[in-house]
């Protein structure tokens, strides 16, 4: 008898896994019906975002920004005389989930897709949309592998890694910092950025005096600090994330490592200041795409966003808001929801004024002019560095 109960227990566990597994993939944000994509009714725009998992916070921020843009557009009478509607698919920042999420959007025959947070998930999803000839505007993911695929359906409105390291290098050179120490955390993104920075710095006439890696799961970087102190760099550029970045700032300050300290956009978080301690973080630099609160002319956006969602806009809110407005603009110019026409209109975008950036696409369908800026911690807060 006992064995039977055990078997039933195992079976029901298995069943639960299967059911929840399926549920996870297709958990509903409104059911997709038939008849969409025709020339009447709502224009359905797909959004592929991480709504579950570790990056759900940023996914939610991006969804809010889309929601806000669509509400504004609809209040102004919609696009082409039709209302817009968002259909969300959860990519969970996972390549497999992203593929099935993309297939779901394709089967709903969406007019275009906006979103894409994790590069790893966006890569396979962009392939699915390419096959279905559906234009996709990527508003956060920025691996240089995305444009390298050469898809004519894929448009990126966030700056890429080389843009960021170029901006950082310009800042170093302008502040007469020629001898740079580079530190990455062995993640693909951080290493890619460190390599890119190395190339840029050497091209600009500077020299890389140390190229180091840390393990972001450890907390003690004192050995690295001691080593760098001995080399006395003009500046240290860390390309990893805020948790290690904050500790590094603190320990570098304790040890008295000389020179500027700059961190990449992975460290652009209030938590960086909290972890380092405000007095240690003072003067630390960040190379990043500025969030809405640092963008001139975005005050209205920030105010409305706070009012509507009761929280400050996240790192990619403004960009995602821009992406939706860019799509609406392209739809108007194309005067059609036909995939081919929308794609062509997006490609022809010229000097589209958006929050914090002016969008014109280059040959690779990435920004002609990047939106990166250098921020500085002053009085415990990020401000735009001059």
Partner 1 sequence: MNTLVQTLIDGLVIGAFYSLIALGYTMVFGIIKLLNFAHGDLYMLGAFIGYSLLSLVTGNGEGAAGLLGIAVVLLLTMTVVGVIGMGIERIAYRPLLLAPRLSILITAIGVSLILENGSMAIWGAQYQVYPLQLPQTGWSFGGAQLTYTQVAIIAISVLLMAGLQLFVRHSIYGKAMRAIALDQTASSLMGIDVHRVIALTFFIGAALAAGAGVMAGAYYGTINFMMGFIIGLKAFTAAVLGGIGNLPGAMVGGLLLGLIETAGTLVLGGSWKDVVAFSILIVILVCKPTGILGEKVTERM
Minimum CB distance to partner 1, residue 225 (Å): 8
Whichever of 252 and 352 has its CB closer to partner 1, that residue is 252
Minimum CB distance to partner 1, residue 255 (Å): 7
DSSP bridge pairs for 43? 84
For residues 226 and 218, what is the distance between their CA atoms, to the nearest angstrom?
16
Minimum CB distance to partner 1, residue 24 (Å): 18
Q: Which of 37, 10, 12 is nearest to 338 (CA)?
A: 37
Whichever of 9 and 278 has its CB closer to partner 1, that residue is 278
Minimum CB distance to partner 1, residue 212 (Å): 4
Quick check: helix, strand or coil at residue 90? strand
Are 184 and 190 in contact, with CB atoms under 8 Å apart?
A: yes
DSSP 249-287: HHHHHHHT--SEEEE-GGG-SHHHHHHH-HHHHTT-EEE
> Which residues of the shown chain bind partner 1 in the complex (CB under 8 A)?
54, 183, 186, 210-215, 217-220, 222-224, 226-227, 229-230, 243, 246-247, 250, 254-256, 271, 274-275, 277
- Measured at the CA of 79, the angle between CA 78 and CA 85, to 5 degrees, comes to 65
10 CB neighbour count, 10 Å cutoff: 10
Minimum CB distance to partner 1, residue 264 (Å): 17
Whichever of 12 and 186 has its CB closer to partner 1, that residue is 186
Whichever of 131 and 254 has its CB closer to partner 1, that residue is 254
297 CB neighbour count, 10 Å cutoff: 10
Minimum CB distance to partner 1, residue 152 (Å): 39
Whichever of 58 and 163 has its CB closer to partner 1, that residue is 58
Whichever of 193 and 373 has its CB closer to partner 1, that residue is 193
Q: Which residue has the tokens 């062995």?
A: 186
Minimum CB distance to partner 1, residue 226 (Å): 5
Whichever of 10 and 223 has its CB closer to partner 1, that residue is 223
Minimum CB distance to partner 1, residue 277 (Å): 7
Distances (CA, A) of 293 to 181, 302, 307, 314: 30, 7, 14, 10
Helix/strand/coil (H/E/C) assignment for every residue in 118-159: CHHHHHHHHHHHHHCCCCEEECCCCCCHHHHCCCCCEEECCC
DSSP bridge pairs for 98? none
Whichever of 41 and 278 has its CB closer to partner 1, that residue is 278
**Cβ partners under 8 Å of residue 98, min gap 6:** 48, 91, 92, 118, 121, 122, 124, 125
Minimum CB distance to partner 1, residue 348 (Å): 43
For residues 222 and 244, what is the distance between their CA atoms, to the nearest angstrom?
12
Quick check: helix, strand or coil at residue 187? coil
DSSP 308-341: HHSS---TTHHHHHHHHHHHHHHHHHHTS--HHH
Whichever of 191 and 347 has its CB closer to partner 1, that residue is 191
Pairing of strands 179-184, 207-213: parallel
Minimum CB distance to partner 1, residue 365 (Å): 35
Whichever of 55 and 325 has its CB closer to partner 1, that residue is 55
For residues 305 and 307, what is the distance between their CA atoms, to the nearest angstrom?
5
């Amino acid at each position: 008898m006992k064995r039977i109960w055990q078997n039933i227990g195992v079976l029901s566990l298995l069943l639960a896994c299967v059911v929840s597994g399926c549920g996870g993939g297709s958990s509903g944000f409104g059911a997709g019906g038939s008849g969409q994509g025709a020339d009447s009714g709502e224009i359905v725009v797909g959004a592929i975002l991480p709504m579950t998992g570790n990056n759900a916070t940023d996914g939610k921020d991006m969804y809010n920004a889309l929601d806000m843009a669509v509400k504004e557009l609809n209040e102004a009478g919609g696009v082409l005389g039709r209302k817009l509607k968002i259909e969300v698919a959860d990519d969970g920042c996972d390549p497999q989930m992203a593929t099935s999420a993309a297939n779901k959007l394709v089967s709903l025959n969406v007019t275009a897709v906006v979103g894409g947070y994790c590069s790893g998930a966006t890569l396979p999803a962009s392939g699915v949309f390419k096959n279905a000839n559906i234009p996709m505007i990527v508003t956060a993911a920025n691996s240089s592998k995305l444009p390298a695929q050469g898809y004519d359906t894929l448009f990126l409105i966030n700056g890429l890694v080389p843009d960021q390291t170029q901006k950082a290098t310009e800042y170093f050179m302008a502040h007469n910092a020629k001898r740079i120490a580079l530190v990455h955390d062995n993640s693909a993104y951080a290493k890619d950025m460190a390599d890119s920075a190395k190339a840029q710095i050497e091209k600009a006439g500077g020299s890389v005096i140390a190229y180091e890696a840390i393990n972001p799961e450890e907390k003690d970087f004192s050995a690295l600090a001691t080593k760098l102190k001995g080399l006395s760099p003009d500046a240290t550029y860390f390309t990893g994330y805020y948790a290690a970045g904050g500790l590094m700032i603190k320990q570098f300050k304790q040890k008295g490592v000389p020179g500027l300290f700059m961190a990449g956009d992975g460290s652009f978080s209030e938590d960086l200041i909290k972890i380092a301690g405000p007095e240690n973080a003072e003067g630390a630099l960040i190379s990043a795409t500025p969030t809405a609160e640092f963008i001139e002319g975005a005050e209205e956006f920030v105010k409305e966003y706070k009012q509507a969602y009761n929280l400050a806009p996240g790192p990619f809110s403004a960009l995602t808001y821009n992406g939706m407005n860019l799509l609406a603009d392209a739809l108007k110019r194309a005067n059609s929801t036909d995939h081919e026409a929308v794609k062509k209109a997006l490609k022809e975008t010229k000097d589209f004024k958006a929050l914090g950036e002016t969008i014109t696409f280059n040959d690779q369908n990435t920004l002609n002019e990047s939106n990166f800026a250098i921020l500085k911690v002053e009085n415990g807060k990020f401000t735009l560095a001059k």
